[in-house]
Amino acid sequence: MINKTKKTSFSFFILLVSIPFLLHYFFYFLGKCLPLGYPIILSIIIGCICFYHYTIYEKIVKKHLQINKEMQKYNEMKDIMLQISNSIVSIENMDELLRLFVSSMVQVIDQADTASILIKNEEDLFEFKAVHGFNLEELSQIKLSSEELFLEHHKNLKSIIIKNPDHFNLQNMSSKNYKLLKDTDAFKIKSTMCTPIIIDNQVYGIVNIDNISHEGIFTEEDMVILEYLTGQLAVAIKNVLLFEKTLFLSRYDGLTQLYHRHYFDELFNNIYQQALRYNEQFCLCMIDLNNLKKINDVYGHLAGDLAIQHFADILKNNVRSSDILGRFGGDEFVLIFLNSTRQQTQKKIELIFQKISEHPLTYDHNEFYVDFSFGVAEFPKDSTDHKELFKIADLRMYKNKNNKKTRM
């Protein structure tokens, strides 16, 4: 646009400067001869005035273009923030949000070629969770300590620009991780911006934005954009974590991490309807802990909670991943064994009995066992009515309980 404006302005300038000479020749043909100095002086004055106005106009045009460019960048940032905000409602896991963010950052920061996000795990090591321009499968095998990160060597964990990342990595990274990263071509970068993801005043992760061609290419303006959008990302992550926690609590029992009754009922109904439609078989197993009250009375309710957790862990470790486990509340559990007969299910329960007898629970220097009773109902052999299945399994469980002796 500026070049087009220059051409138009130059043509207009030539026309204005030529007017005094045209007037001079016009009067000359009319027989009025005027000194040549008049058109020359007048042309110089007109030229100076035009040049002055042109320089002012050029500055206005440049400023206008700069404003347009900044507005375009601002609109891009707004679109990215809107994408991140909208994704909170639609995404099913954290990975999708992080992938969206790294691809968006490369789009909005002009000098960005690659990007990555590292998230701190339970061992306080940082793992690559999302990348743009790298191979995530290769990088996901690498875990970095805080001492190997750019931010660890900067006061107050503030955002920084690293002009020579390879030199930093060579000095501060373990030889094993350095080699692993070098093999993935992660060191092809020449300049890096790095900023922390802060959630509840704790470092949750790290964002790296890279350029692969030039050292020191990033500006303070780029850093401001990165920090602002990373702040938006932190809000989005916190909301996703809250959503995941709410979703977890809506499905799982907090003490045992098994499905709670309401969600188990929903799953059971789906399995029951499918079995009716496709003539499949499954077994419903009801379990009741025999000695939980005695454990609570003798050792306290904390020991009782540990007994419930201990029993739930043994269940989880000794059934198939396709089997469904739920806690009905208190000391009652319920299980669904898919494609299993009553005899096969009873053999599995006998295996659980054996595991419990091999693993007593120790609490406050006291050792005791968790004992239980069970009842199994088979679909469709025992009944094709789902309420009747629960009733049969419950009756068989209490029959088993009456025949058992409590063992402590």
Low-confidence winner among 104-118, 308-322, 335-349 (lowest mean pLDDT): 104-118
Distance CA 71, CA 332 (A): 62
**Residue 72 pLDDT > 90, yes or no?**
no
pLDDT band of 375, cuts 50, 70, 90: very high
The structural architecture, per CATH, of the domain 94-245 is 2-Layer Sandwich (3.30)
Residues 257 and 151 sit within 8 Å (Cβ to Cβ): no
Average pLDDT rounded to a whole number, residues 159-172: 82
Which is more confident, 118 or 43? 118
Bridge partners (DSSP) listed for residue 114: 210
Q: Which helix (H) or strand (E) holds 318?
A: none
Distance CA 326, CA 271 (A): 14
Average pLDDT rounded to a whole number, residues 219-224: 88
Average pLDDT rounded to a whole number, residues 330-351: 95
For the sheet containing 332-338, what is the strand order? 259-260, 324-329, 332-338, 282-289, 372-379
Residues 108 and 73 sit within 8 Å (Cβ to Cβ): yes
**Residue 404 pLDDT > 90, yes or no?**
no
**Residue 90 pLDDT > 70, yes or no?**
no
pLDDT at 157: 66
Residues 117 and 130 sit within 8 Å (Cβ to Cβ): yes
Q: Please enumerate in sequence order all residues whose Cβ is within 8 A of that of 117, keeping only pairs 6 or more positions apart, or say none.
A: 98, 101, 102, 128, 129, 130, 131, 197, 205, 206, 207, 208
Average pLDDT rounded to a whole number, residues 48-64: 74
pLDDT at 350: 93
pLDDT band of 46, cuts 50, 70, 90: low
Complete DSSP assignment for 155-171: GGG--EEES-HHHHHHH
Average pLDDT rounded to a whole number, residues 27-33: 62
Which is more confident, 52 or 407? 52
Neighbours of 401 (CB within 10 A): 16
**How far does the chain reach from its first CA to its final CA, in angstroms?**
89
Which is more confident, 324 or 87? 324
Q: What is the DSSP letter of 364?
A: T
Instruction: For residue 380, say if its preceding peptide bond is cis, omega within 30 degrees of 0.
Output: yes
pLDDT band of 389, cuts 50, 70, 90: very high
Residues 348 and 337 sit within 8 Å (Cβ to Cβ): yes
pLDDT at 364: 87
Give Cα 81 to chain centroid, integer Å. Answer: 15
pLDDT at 269: 95
**Residue 152 pLDDT > 80, yes or no?**
no
Domain locations in the chain?
A: 2-85, 94-245, 259-402
pLDDT at 233: 87
**Residue 406 pLDDT > 50, yes or no?**
no
Average pLDDT rounded to a whole number, residues 268-293: 94
Compute and round to an integer the Cα radius of gyration of the chain: 38
Which is more confident, 56 or 408? 56
pLDDT at 187: 77
Pick from 365, 403, 395, 269: nearest CA to 326: 269
| Count of residues making up the chain | 408
| CATH, domain 259-402, list 3.30.230.10, 3.90.1200.10, 3.90.1520.10, 3.30.70.270 | 3.30.70.270
Helix, strand, coil percentages in the chain from 3-state DSSP, rounded to 5: 60, 20, 25
Pick from 328, 327, 359: nearest CA to 257: 327
Is this prediction's pTM over 0.75? no
pLDDT at 261: 92
Residues 291 and 371 sit within 8 Å (Cβ to Cβ): yes
pLDDT at 408: 40
pLDDT at 179: 87
Bridge partners (DSSP) listed for residue 206: 118, 196
Residues 20 and 39 sit within 8 Å (Cβ to Cβ): yes
Give, in degrees to the nearest 5, the angle at Cα 387 between 383 and 388.
Answer: 35
With b meaning 16 or more CB within 10 Å and e meaning fewer, what string describes 374-385? bbbbbbeebbee
Q: What's the pLDDT tens digit per position in 226-265?
A: 888 888 888 888 888 888 888 888 899 989 999 999 999 9
pLDDT at 236: 84
pLDDT at 407: 45
Q: Please enumerate in sequence order all residues whose Cβ is within 8 A of that of 51, keeping only pairs 6 or more positions apart, or say none.
A: 13
